[in-house]
Structure 1
């Protein structure tokens, strides 16, 4: 009956938000309490016949069954039926080792249990900052204004961040550098043993190349900064295309040079071939038009002269023939 009553009181205490509960009924238990907050320690199931609870050599609580034999400090309250001790307005010096001593009716100690209590400052707020650097690399820092023994955890697009997403750092560090072109919702979780908080940022780095109020902007910036441009230049929002432009320009230049060289070679070959054809035509004309006709005319003249001499030598009259002979011969000679 007493145990049942103690359990009910304990459950009611927890349901009313008495503070963070820590089970100290086992040897070597470790409990954590928030600075300036409160904590509930479960020291026993029910109050034994006689017990002491002390820090180092100082007895903080002494009782016999349901009766307290000492006055507790102002911030402490003990419920014998549930064996719970509540501490409010926790201080740094509340941290330390505590010992519970249990005695039987003969006053003989039958059990000693130790408990370690740690007081930590809770996480108050989380500040998350990201930058856009060359080639779309994004360093991100996560910090908290308060908190002891902080631990960090990251998620990207509602999934745990992987080491493969990082250029440097690790997924449990507060400063990381993301690889290029990673975008989406990045959340930083900051926690310790008494509290947890988080903050998020939307990642989206683009290369902006434009003018803003007469000033040229040519760098990697968050996508929201595109509004700074007076007149966006086509292609500014595509870092992949921008990266390929120098390569494409080089390829086109090389093709143009090769094309010009090819045209020059073809032109020279055609010019040389045309020169050879002109020389062949000129030689052929000399043979047909100049040399051959002269040879034909000479042969024809010689044939006619010989024929005339033979004809004239057959005249019947000697006197006339002699005269004619001389004139003809003279004429022929003169003609030749």
Structure 2
């Protein structure tokens, strides 16, 4: 804001600088209006008996007898109830020194005070660019496409940007270089006396090491550049000389351990199966006594039958023939598993 000998009063900015409001009731006040916009100036609390509002001794607004102004330009309007003067479609030549003279009913002056009005072009748009450099630092440039006397202010993650985050530049400059590792949401705010606008960018420089259509890419780029990779092998802010041998060694060691465990399980199962086949098999004999009808045989009242364990070797079974004429004791042999 320009230096002033008096009190500078500009109150607020509306709709990107298209309308401003100013309190001109104090002497030597300064007001700022947007080019092609409008400004509302409060000249007084209530309408006096008479007043003139002049620019360089040229009367622009004149009122008498406590009534609405009898003389006023087409772009001007005055509200007697609150003493507000509105100027529309501001032009460069509206800038200058204005004087308010208040009269008594006898024509003598009660008050004479001055006001400076400055017309500035508002900032309507901002261009923000981000560029990743060789070691991961980021060059950020913020520029107003229009507007008079723009001023710049930076914030990172909703907090004011600190000098400790900068590799070069100033927090009030429109171009800065951020240190490697600085990340988050960066906002550039641009303002002047009649407007304010801001634009933001998401910081995301990563090292990309991949091929794109057969061409090797190996440098720091914004994260969205990953889409260029055929088969991305990028790393997040890492150096291309990373050594992956420890990782591969760990994977191979794990596979070797799993292979040894599998072989041990298979050998144990085979050994267990072989032991079962070698176990002794028990065979019981079913002994029956048959009385042949053609011969009378005296049988003891108590016949004791003894069962024994019979061992068989792995040989084919043989069929034993018995004589029909003799009383025979035969056995049915069952092989148990």
Report the 3-state secondary structure (helix = DSSP H, G, I; strand = E; otherwise coil) of the residue aligned with 1:225. helix
Query: Matches of 1:56 and 1:154 in 2, distance apart?
Result: 41
Q: Residue 105 of structure 1 aligns with which residue?
A: 105
Query: What is the aligned partner in structure 2 of residue 71 from structure 1?
Result: 71
CA contact (8 A) 1:65 1:80 kept: no
Q: Which runs of 5 or more structure 1 residues have no equivalent in the other structure?
A: 1-13, 249-336
Q: Which residue number corresponds to residue 310 of structure 1?
A: none
Cα deviation 1:168-219 (Å, max 9, x = unaligned): 1111111111111211111111111222111111111111122111111111
Question: For 2:142 and 2:157, how far apart are their aligned partners in 1?
Answer: 17
2:237 counterpart residue number: 239
In the TM superposition, 1:18-97 aligns within 5 A as 19-68=19-68, 70-97=70-97
| 1:137 paired residue number | 137
**TM-score, normalised by the number of residues in structure 1:** 0.64
Paired residue secondary structure (1:128): strand
Q: What residue number does 1:197 align with?
A: 197
Paired residue for 1:227? Answer: 227
CA distance in 2, matches of 1:69, 1:196: 35
Question: What is the aligned partner in structure 1 of residue 166 from structure 2?
Answer: 166
Equivalent pair of 1:47/1:64 in contact (CA under 8 Å): no
| 1:257-272 matches, cutoff 5 A | none
Post-superposition offset of 1:243: 6.6
RMSD across aligned C-alpha pairs, in angstroms?
A: 2.2
Question: Is 2:65–2:105's contact at 8 Å kept on the other side of the alignment?
Answer: no
- Tell me the TM-score normalised to structure 2 length: 0.63
- 2-structure distance, mates of 1:21, 1:243: 60
Higher-Rg structure is 1
Q: In structure 1, what is the Cα distance between the partners aligned to 2:199 and 2:69? A: 50
Contact 1:66/1:81, CA 8 A, preserved across alignment = no
Residue of structure 1 in register with 2:277 after alignment: none
Could you say which residue in structure 2 is the equivalent of 1:282? none
- Kept after mapping to 2: 8 A contact 1:128/1:199: yes
1:147-169 per-position Cα deviation (integer Å, ceiling 9, x unaligned): 11211111111111111111111
Offset from partner CA, 1:44-74 (integer Å, 9 cap, x none):
1112222111001111111124335642111
CA contact (8 A) 1:140 1:175 kept: yes
Distance 1:218 1:148 in 2: 42
- Give the number of the structure whose residues are more often helix, by fraction: 1
Structure 2 residues not aligned, in runs of 5+:
1-13, 246-337
